[in-house]
Structure 1
Amino acid sequence: MKTQSLFIAMLAIWIVLLTACGGTAGNSRQSSVPESKEGSAKSSTGSSGEGSSASFPRTVTDATGEVTIQKQPKKVALVHWGLSDVMLTFDLDTVAITLPFTAVQSVLKTDVYKPYVYKHREIAIVGENTGVNMEAVLAYEPDLIIAGSSTNKNQLGQLGQIAQTIVIDEAQTNVFEDWKAVMTQFGRILGQEENAKAFVAAFDQQTQEAKAKLAGVSGTVVFVQVREKNMWLSSPTTLSLYYAGLGLKPPEAPMMKEGGQLSLEGLSQLNPDHLFLGHFNYEDPALPAVTDEWKKSEVWKQLKAVQQGQTYPVNGQLALGFGPIGKAYGVDAIVKALKQP
Structure 2
Amino acid sequence: MKFLLYLSQNYSFEIMRPLCSLMRKEGHDVRWFAEGSEVNKSQFQPDDIVLSTISEAIRFRPDASFLPGNIVPSFIPGLKVQLFHGFEWKKKGHFRIRGCFDLYCTQGPFFTKKFEALREKHPHFTVKETGWTKLDTLFEYTKKDIPQHKLPVILYAPTFSPSFTSANSLLNAMFALSKKKSWKWKVKFHPKMDKETIEAFKRAQHKNLEVIDSHNITPLLVESDVMVSDTSSAITEFLLLGKPVVTFKNAQPEPVLIDIDDANKLEDAVEKALTMDETLKESINNYSLKMHPFTDGQSAQRVLQATIEEIEMYPREENVAKPKNIFRNFKLRKRLGYWR
TM-score (norm: length of structure 2) = 0.37
